[in-house]
Chains A and B, each alone.
Chain A
């Protein structure tokens, strides 16, 4: 069992995985007499180039180097090794796991190297045997074509296979492609130069065309990606248009009806509350794109108000002014929620919430039109207002105040939180 040796070269292989593999391997050797227990052939996610040799070695219980040697030997037999390798590469799945496959061998650079060797060799050879050019004409074209193929393969490998690899990525891809482009461009120029000097112009011209075509191939994946992006963008736009069409339609029909229901049923009746909750839900769904994903104080209180409307006979009107820097998890939000809950529970009817974020402070006003109460008359064991609103604000450096509403109707809770405290509590 030599797969361990291969994996030892990969620093990334986790101890757990190795332990699990070792156990698997032991069980394989113990019961290797029955074919059924041989593990399904898979390619390890931490591999050298493609994982075919390592996978096959695991499967057969051979040394991985033996497998590689076998592939090389079989290649001599009319390329059977290469075909088998490609076939296995296509049809063998990756080993189970969610880690992205990484490759230890710099395949793209090896291909670039092969291409460079071929092309440089040809150029040097043409320089040395300029006079005897006719004799080497055929083989030189073949080697040049091989160099072109290697360069294109390197670029394709870098784009299609190395790009998602966390160890390489887009910068590596760009470098490989730039190198391949330069090689191919020089090849094309050299070929055109040869065309101008030589007898067998057709072949040389074809090779020059191949080099130009190769450059095009190097950039095909980018074009495909751009095309795909464009298509996605278009689909998105069409969907957006459809959505706004639906929104306009619902706005004209369903929302109007819901408004009418609320209007006719009286502001605090059960029917009106359900209609209002539905209206809000529908509106949220229709205009979901506008809302910021990150919940700030205003959004949070709005949502909380909507939830209260379902549970209590209230309508909550939330008005937000200024850029809200306060997060929904802060003390202000908690105190404001408590005040809103109190208003909904004890007062009902219409509750107005006003949030203003100025550079100096965040202020929240919660106003109801219920029977009202004086803080002094609340028994000492009732902690709601005293502790969760005023006490909480004072402890966190702000201030809270409960007072009768304007004209003696209802109650107004006022919360104030200075800005520097906001910064501190956020950090």
Chain B
């Protein structure tokens, strides 16, 4: 049966396929449908303004579904145009489908959609798309504004309908946050503080992620509206609290904070019952209002105390009272902070009972006992009344205490440092104590005790103000004294440089040391005349140290020249030029450096010159050559020291250290941050480690060679280092730290070499920097 049915159906279809009438009907239907498609294509770009209303409604729905894309009006037009293009295509497709279906229903034979489409136009899709674009370009100008207007209207409705009123818990959280931010005395929140929440709660109150620009202000407006409502409810509750607070006005009874709190809580019971389901909801008592009520009660009580203290004359804190309390035990008042604290405690202890008695004059008799206990406990404990009273005492102490302490400090200065107050000025020994330690000024009172060689340092028994006074007093005299001493010593150095040839000639002529000293002393005094006027009157005469230094210098030069007289005479007979003399014996060469310990000649210039080529050849292979610029710079220090530490400013605000021996050994240049002294010193120490070894090795070998050996009396090896500073940023602390680091390095080097560590001769050319 099935086979028969299939056969019959197949035969029927087959016969229809070859039935001219059916085929003609198929052709006609195909042609009609293709005609319709052509018609649709020709109409694709046509825009009829009467369609605007319907189309704008459709577009409005699309905008609502994609608010993000249409957020900006201007930018949204392109999106709308694209939507209209797509809509037009879809519309065409639907109409074409209807035409095809109609044709298929009219055709007795199957009719393929693709055949119809191809019959209509081979590029029907392109034509459709181009037409849709033209349609969109025209229609968007009319449809988009209308659609946007509709959407804005709809969005406003949705915003109103979707407005989310915050819950009581949320509001409590917000208001507590506001309260926490509030500074100053306890006060209710203001409406502007409420409105400051506007931006932060916007997304919660209006839960719309994206909005059109026309309604972008709506969330803020609605948030403002919600906050306004909250503010009114809050204000109502605050009014209840303030009403309760006013209940005590005019009462004779003495209220305490707890009384006030009870009154406030009773007042808040009159607040309307919460109705969270209402729109807008009616909120219960806000947590912040309850807290504020408590705080207001406490504030009120504190204000009562402060007001009373202002009028309580019998209990006023006076300077006499404070001075008396301090002198009971001055050692407890050495520091101002400790003194204030001790005085505050003393005032509280002494006056608490008087204060309570005076305050409770108006208290009703039945409550007096209880109130007395309450106030005694509150004023001495850690509660708000105690802190308020202590704050009032602090205020008074801040006013009175500095003057009292200053007066006592002056007294202590006279008692403990009489040496600072003499009209003669500081003894030279005190000045030398600082000079020898390269200290430009006193920093602490312990230094004063050491400089004056006091047997008992009073620092631990005097006020800090006294210590400050003493240091200031000392520095006032010390600084001009140091300045004068520096100038005097410097004058000797200058004379050394300039008078060396004359000295050699004098020794060669047989002049003795004393005559030489007298000659130099006169020369010094002559030179000093030009400088002394610039010095402090108390320090215009030659100091003992200067005289010693001059004597020692002359003596050293004298003996040194005398021991090498033969060689000197030979060189003098050769009548060398000035340049040759300078080259052979630089005025300030290491051999000639006038230091306390007689020097062993480090190198012999002629010998160095002869040996240099050989040495350079050997070094060239063993170690890298220093930078030529650095070497040239170091050349400038030739004769001044074995090693140089020269500090100068860099353009970027940092400083630069130039290091090395004047002949270029261990030469290096390193930049560092002058503000960070510790780190910079460490950096310098690390950088110096190797180069310093080179200098030490070089100096050691020079010591061993002996060379010219002008001075043979030196027993100990030495290393002279020049610390020259051309930067105001480098402080004495840097000199001290670098000196310590170099000393450590020398010790380590000597230990490794198994030699005696050379004595470090430190020449600090910082002067008295500000």
Answer yes or no: are A and B bound together in one complex.
no
User: B interface vs A, CB < 8 Å?
Assistant: none
User: A interface vs B, CB < 8 Å?
Assistant: none
